[in-house]
Amino acid sequence: MGMDRNTVIGFVLIGLLMMGMFYFNSKGSNALEAAKKRSNDSTAMANRKDSVLLAKDSANAARIRKATSAAAFQNGVNQPEVLTAVENEFLKITFSNKGGQPKLVELKNYKTFDGSTVVMQNGTFNQLSYAINTGENKNIQTSELTFAPGIKVANADKSQTISFSLKDTTGKEIIHQYTIKPSQYMIDFSIVLNGADKLVTKNSMNLLWQNQASRIEKDMEYEKQQTEICYLKEGNYDFERLGTGGEMKFDKPIEWLAVKQQFFIAAVLNTGKFKTAEVQWKVPDTATHALAQATANLNVQVPAGATAQIPLQLYYGPSDYNVLKQYNNHLQQIVPYGSGIFAFVKYINRYVLLPVFDFLRQNVASMGIVILLLTLFIRLLTSPILYKSYLSGAKMKVLKPEVDALKAKFTDKTGTLDQQAFSVEQMKLWRSAGVSPFGGCLPALLQIPIFMSLYYFFQSNISLRGQSFLWAKDLASYDTIYNFSFSIPFYGDHISLFTLTATITSLLISIYSMSNMQDNSNPVMKYMPYIFPVLLLGVFNNLPSALTWYYTISNTITLILQIIIQKYIIDHDKILAQIEETRKKPVKQSKLQEKIQAMQEAQKKMQDAKNKSPNK
């Protein structure tokens, strides 16, 4: 049914009415939003004004508090900051007269992972300060006072001294003197107090040392793992890992306290020793690029008298064993050449590997070739052990038919081997042939300290840092030929080619060794040699490429030596003849062999008794 004219007109009018309503509603809504925005802007402006007023009030309150605390040292309050730079061949230190302390410390000869100069100290967190008495029941931190601008003096021994002085209205004076010697990372820091008996209480001051360790290396997580809080207490060095943060209190004197990163150290030292100490450290969020923030309160004994001088030292420099050793204060102990159950390998590193390594790097341009030559040196040292291991394996192989005959003899009809009886007779067979059951495993065990010493050596030696070889850009860090956009558990977010070559060569050694095993029927022993190379793939992927390059060379040499020794040097017929000659001689047992045989025979008797008891 169609609509009449009036109906159509009615719908048109309703439509126009609704459109008009939507239009005016929208306009009203926009007007309301605009009014609301004006109101919000007005409120925000008022809040900003309130914030500015609060900030001004807070700043005014801080200035008033500082002025009150400064008391007689008013000339050290609210003065302009003046920066003064002092440098030698190694360091550039920018000092501030605010607190009379270092503000920026740069190591001129070292670069970060991204090519910028290594900065050991920068930012407001870093502080070197102590509290002084400024009046009755009033004190203030020296970091809050502004000293007179630093005065630089060139000394006769080519060192430079910069001095900061601050006097009060009563004649008391504080002087901070820093002496930077040529070609040195150690800075002499002397605090001179004129009026010391009034400036400090009970001949004691608490030195506040705050240090922020910032990211320097490519792998920040690995660098964080290598960062430690180190100290020397009663002549003994010790350290604490960062973890997620922590704190330590020292009730006995310590000589120095340091924050050691993977390859760099910041330390404060006192030859007179800090009487007591307390240190706390925090591990900031990774996004800050800060590894740790350490805050130490170090109790310093002030000499009695009106004038006192306190000699301290500051170290900003590399974690280099040779550099640190020259200072004769045990700082070289910080270089982690061995720790935990493998602490003893540090002596191998210090007195064997390091001298050889230093000699090679002074005469060979390529660090990769230096590592190759060092590997050859190590393999030359361990070759007698390796030869004895292979010789023992060859003797075992010659005796395999007789061992198999014994196994058949002590296996019953059900296929069960009398293990006790077999072991006793096997020991007799080996002893009569002059074969030691430990001949193969002891040489392998003796090589573990060598491997562990190199593990510590390659991740701690700063000479490797920044040195490239083949595709590896930095031998002190992992090499990478491909980066994933994600991380694989136990493996990582990249592919290290040297890790692959180390794994493949380890796998080849395992395959070759399996082909020469006397007994590969045991499923555990059958697959065990393949497990280790797979573990290497995950463990080595984030380790320094110097270590994986060394391991690749070492494995290759091992494989070649195994083939040459077993195929061309060891004469199996000659060994068999030697065994026959040995059998003709009276058997001599060591005390260990006697004990093992006695234990085996006792166990066999007990087993025989158990087997007979049910028949009774």
- Which of 297-301, 538-542, 562-566 is most confident? 297-301
pLDDT band at residue 2, thresholds of 50, 70 and 90?
very low
Are 547 and 539 contacting, i.e. CB atoms less than 8 angstroms apart?
Answer: no
Name the token pair of 223. Answer: 């660098």
Q: Please check whether residues 325 and 363 belong to one and the same domain.
A: no
Question: What is the pLDDT averaged over residues 469-474?
Answer: 92
pLDDT mean over 19-37: 54
> What is the tally of structural domains in the chain?
2
Residues 176 and 204 in one domain: yes
pLDDT at 144 over 50: yes
Which pLDDT band, with edges at 50, 70 and 90, does 72 fall under? confident
- What percent of the chain lies above the pLDDT cut of 70? 76
Query: Which string of b and e fits 234-256 if b means at least 16 CB within 10 Å?
Result: eeebeeeebeeeeebebeebbbb
What long-range pairs does 330-336 form, CB within 8 A, spacing at least 24?
Answer: 330/232, 330/235, 330/237, 330/255, 331/256, 331/258, 331/265, 331/267, 331/269, 333/230, 333/232, 333/237, 334/230, 334/237, 334/239, 334/258, 334/260, 334/265, 335/460, 336/226, 336/228, 336/456, 336/459, 336/460
Looking at the fold, whether 353 and 453 belong to one and the same domain comes out as: yes
Residue 22 is assigned to a structural domain of this protein: no
Q: What is the mean pLDDT of residues 474-491?
A: 88
Task: Convert 487-524 to b/e letters by CB count within 10 Å (16 or more is b).
Answer: eeeebbebbbbbbbbbbebbbbbbeeeeeebeeeeeee
Least confident of 32-36, 61-65, 252-256: 32-36
- 507 and 467 in a single domain? The answer is yes
pLDDT in tens, 187-206: 999 999 999 888 999 999 99
Please indicate, yes or no, whether residues 221 and 252 belong to a single structural domain of this protein.
yes
Q: What is the 3-state secondary structure (H, E, C) of 327-360?
A: CCCCHHHHCCCCCHHHCCHHHHHHHHHHHHHHHH
Identify any residues that bridge with 237 across adjacent strands, giving them in sequence order.
232
Tell me which residue of 427, 425, 433, 445 sits closest to 392, measured CA to CA. 433
How high is the pLDDT of residue 39?
Answer: 61
CATH number for the domain spanning 286: value is: 2.70.98.90
- Average pLDDT on 443-463 reads 85
Higher pLDDT, 454 or 415: 454
Is the pLDDT score of 10 beyond 60?
A: no
- Is residue 199 a part of any domain in this protein? yes
Determine the pLDDT at residue 493.
Answer: 87
With cut-offs at 50, 70 and 90, classify the pLDDT of residue 49.
low
Q: What is the pLDDT of residue 410?
A: 78
Residue 410 lies in a domain: no
- Give the model's pLDDT for residue 221: 87
Residue 430 lies in a domain: no
| Amino acid at site 75 | N
Residues of the domain holding 534 = 346-399+435-585
pLDDT at 510: 81
Q: Is the pLDDT of residue 8 over 50?
A: no
User: Which of 48-52, 333-337, 484-488 reaches the highest mean pLDDT?
Assistant: 333-337
Q: Are 501 and 545 in contact (CB under 8 A)?
A: no
Instruction: Let me know if residue 408 belongs to a domain.
Output: no
Do 203 and 92 reside in the same domain of the chain? Answer: yes
Give Cβ neighbours of residue 430 (< 8 Å, ≥ 6 apart). 399, 436, 437
Q: What pLDDT shows up at residue 432?
A: 72
Place of tokens 């008009």: 20
Q: Are residues 350 and 321 in the same domain?
A: no
Q: Which of 291, 313, 335 is the last residue of a domain?
A: 335
Instruction: Give the model's pLDDT for residue 289.
Output: 85
Position 593 scores a pLDDT of 55
Q: What is the pLDDT of residues 81-127, one digit of tens each?
A: 999 999 999 999 999 999 999 999 999 999 998 899 999 999 889 99
| Weakest-pLDDT range from 59-73, 365-379, 499-513 | 59-73
Whether the per-residue pLDDT at 364 is higher than 90: the answer is yes
Q: Are residues 317 and 439 in the same domain?
A: no
Tell me: do 450 and 501 sit in the same domain: yes
The residue type of 186 is M
Predicted local confidence at residue 231, as pLDDT: 94
Query: How confident is the model at residue 22, as a pLDDT?
Result: 47
State mean pLDDT over 529-542: 82
Choose the final residue of a domain: 335, 360, 383: 335
Q: What is the DSSP letter of 112?
A: -
Residue 316 parent element (H or E): strand 307-318
Q: Are 378 and 304 within one domain?
A: no
Q: What mean pLDDT do residues 263-274 have?
A: 94
Which DSSP string corresponds to 56-92? Answer: HHHHHHHHHHHHHHHGGGGGGSSPPP-EEEEE-SSEE
Determine, yes or no, domain membership for 214: yes
User: Taking 90 as the threshold, does the pLDDT of residue 542 lie above it?
Assistant: no
pLDDT at 399 over 80: no
Instruction: Provide Rg for the chain, Cα atoms.
Output: 38
Is the model's pLDDT at 492 over the cut of 80? yes
The residues facing 367 across adjacent strands are none
Would 512 be classed as within a structural domain? yes
Residue found under tokens 């064997």? 352
What local confidence, expressed as pLDDT, does residue 405 receive? 81
State mean pLDDT over 505-516: 79
The pLDDT value given to residue 509:
84
Last residue within a domain, chosen from 335, 360, 384: 335
The pLDDT of 59-82, averaged and rounded, is 75
Top mean pLDDT of 259-263, 570-574, 609-613 is at 259-263
Q: What is the pLDDT of residue 451?
A: 84
Mean predicted lDDT score pLDDT of the chain: 82
Domain co-membership, 84 together with 228: yes
Verify that 377 and 300 share a domain, yes or no. no
Residue 579 has pLDDT above 80, yes or no: no
Read off the pLDDT of each residue in 388-415 and give the average, rounded to a whole number.
75
> CA–CA distance from 612 to each of 167, 291, 409, 615, 616 (Å)?
100, 69, 20, 6, 7
One DSSP character per residue, 369-388 reads HHHHHHHHHHHHHHHHHHHH
Greater pLDDT, 347 or 35: 347
Confidence of residue 369 (pLDDT cuts 50, 70, 90): very high
Residues 182 and 278: beta-carbon distance below 8 Å? no
Identify the residue whose tokens are 């807070």. 58
pTM of the model: 0.77
Q: Which segments of 399-481 does DSSP mark as H helices, in order?
A: 400-409, 419-432, 441-446, 448-460
Within-domain flag for 40: no
